[in-house]
């Protein structure tokens, strides 16, 4: 076995144990939170991606697509595919600003607002439960820590020059990004 693949206590050298892997821990935490939200949304026929779009529009008001995609953590192509169903369901309205015909602006409709408001009591109860069981201070600390983590620039440079330091660091950057 090559030195870089040598195992230490069942874990390949250079990797964290799976239970302490940041990417896996974030996915587990996401599922802990999103499972009950998916259950809440199941009755309304709105998936979590559409829900995020509605919540962003409810909070910020009319927005251009690229800003919605960023705030709702969606790829713009995914958001574009959702537009027609959201409009057909009467949850959003689309418009084009007269001063820039290239842009598309979305706005939540009264029906979309009503759908969000219909889930408000259950959503509030769920997050009150998280605060009660996890602790309000710990929850605020976790949110602050996650904002700090999101601010890091961890992506690899897009196209390193052959023989450059960035190219030589590629395996180390991949290891860092994969939780090693």
pLDDT above 50 for 167: no
Alpha carbon distance 33, 136 (integer Å): 15
- Give 124-136 pLDDT, tens digit per residue: 999 999 999 999 9
The answer to whether 106 and 65 are in contact (CB under 8 A) is: yes
CA nearest neighbour of 105 among 41, 167, 61: 61
pLDDT above 60 for 165: no
- Give 49-107 pLDDT, tens digit per residue: 999 999 999 999 999 999 999 999 999 999 999 999 999 999 999 999 899 889 999 99
Specify the 3-state DSSP secondary structure of 154.
Answer: coil
Instruction: Name which residue leads in pLDDT, 8 or 81.
Output: 81
Alpha carbon distance 28, 141 (integer Å): 18
pLDDT tier for residue 6 given thresholds of 50, 70 and 90: low
């Amino acid at each position: 076995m090559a030195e870089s693949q040598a195992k230490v206590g069942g874990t390949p050298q250079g990797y964290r144990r799976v239970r302490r892997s940041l990417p896996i821990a974030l996915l587990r935490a996401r599922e802990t939170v999103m499972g009950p939200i998916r259950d809440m949304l199941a009755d309304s026929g709105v998936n979590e991606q559409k829900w995020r779009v509605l919540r962003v529009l409810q909070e910020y008001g009319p927005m251009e697509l690229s800003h919605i995609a960023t705030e709702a953590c969606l790829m713009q192509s995914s958001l574009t595919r959702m537009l027609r169903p959201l409009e057909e369901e009467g949850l959003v309205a689309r418009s084009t600003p007269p001063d820039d015909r290239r842009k598309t602006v979305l706005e939540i409709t009264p029906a979309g607002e009503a759908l969000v408001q219909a889930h408000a009591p259950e959503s509030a109860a769920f997050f009150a439960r998280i605060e009660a069981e996890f602790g309000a201070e710990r929850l605020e600390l976790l949110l602050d820590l996650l904002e700090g983590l999101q601010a890091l620039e961890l992506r690899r440079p897009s196209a390193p020059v052959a023989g450059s330091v960035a190219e030589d660091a590629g395996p180390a950057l991949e290891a860092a990004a994969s939780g090693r």
